[in-house]
Amino acid sequence: MNKNAQRLSQVVSTFGPGAMIDLPTRSVIVGGLDLWEMKGNSFSVISEQRITVRLEQLLKAQSRLDESKVLSLPPPPINDSRPGGLPSYVIAPVFPAYFVCDHVETVTSSGRSVRRRRLVRWQDLDTTGGRRKFVFDDGKKSDVTPIRFVCACDKGHAGLSARFTR
């Protein structure tokens, strides 16, 4: 199993959609049903008519599901690793996408020495090698640590942007 893979029981409970998972080199948020990549015949629909009917009623009453739509319950995708088979997975966007360099810079400003650690974005990190690093202008590389402070609005939305980086 991949070191960043989650078991099926984790995806439907502890680390399900919306959960933040702290990986060794980054943090990710597990994607919702719209980010479940299910190709070919890699999934089947769970047939639980009582749950489906009740969910449809609730969602339609809240105007979160069109009256003409019929709800289905897909299980999480399973990658069975069959040769020639299409992959199945749950997309987990990197979040937060900002990191702090482990290397401390000393900057002199107005006669004072100031120590600082640079704030960098996920897409600005060097992807060569194993763990991503930030490369300074002089060629030095620094390990980075994800910033795991998250704030949300009054409605509970995390500060996710419309474009995710994988």
Residue 117 has pLDDT above 60, yes or no: yes
- Is 91 in contact with 26 (CB distance < 8 Å)? no
The answer, as to whether pTM is greater than 0.85, is no
**What residue numbers bound the domain in which 43 lies?**
8-90
Q: Is residue 44 part of a domain?
A: yes
Q: Is residue 151 part of a domain?
A: no
Based on the domain organization, do 61 and 111 belong to the same domain? Answer: no
- pLDDT (tens digit per residue) in 75-96: 766 655 555 555 567 788 887 7
**H helix runs in 17-156, sequence order:** 49-61
Based on the domain organization, do 35 and 75 belong to the same domain? Answer: yes
Domain count, the chain: 2
Based on the domain organization, do 53 and 113 belong to the same domain? Answer: no
Residue 108 has pLDDT above 80, yes or no: yes
Q: Is residue 47 part of a domain?
A: yes
| pLDDT for res 166 | 39
* More confident: 151 or 65: 65
| pLDDT for res 36 | 77
- pLDDT (tens digit per residue) in 24-45: 777 788 887 777 776 665 566 7
| pLDDT for res 100 | 87
The rounded mean pLDDT for the chain is 76
CA 166, CA 151: separation in Å to the nearest integer? 21
Question: Residue 60, class by beta-carbon neighbours within 10 Å (0-12 exposed, 13-18 middle, 19+ buried)?
Answer: middle
Based on the domain organization, do 111 and 40 belong to the same domain? Answer: no
CA 85, CA 32: separation in Å to the nearest integer? 23
* More confident: 15 or 119: 119
- Is 78 in contact with 38 (CB distance < 8 Å)? no
Q: How confident is the model at residue 154 (pLDDT cuts 50, 70, 90)?
A: confident
| Three-state SS sequence of 137-166 | CCCCEEEEEECCCCCECCCCCECCCCCCCC
Can you read off the two tokens belonging to residue 113?
Answer: 């020495």
CA 95, CA 159: separation in Å to the nearest integer? 9
AA identity, residue 113: S
DSSP state, residue 68: T
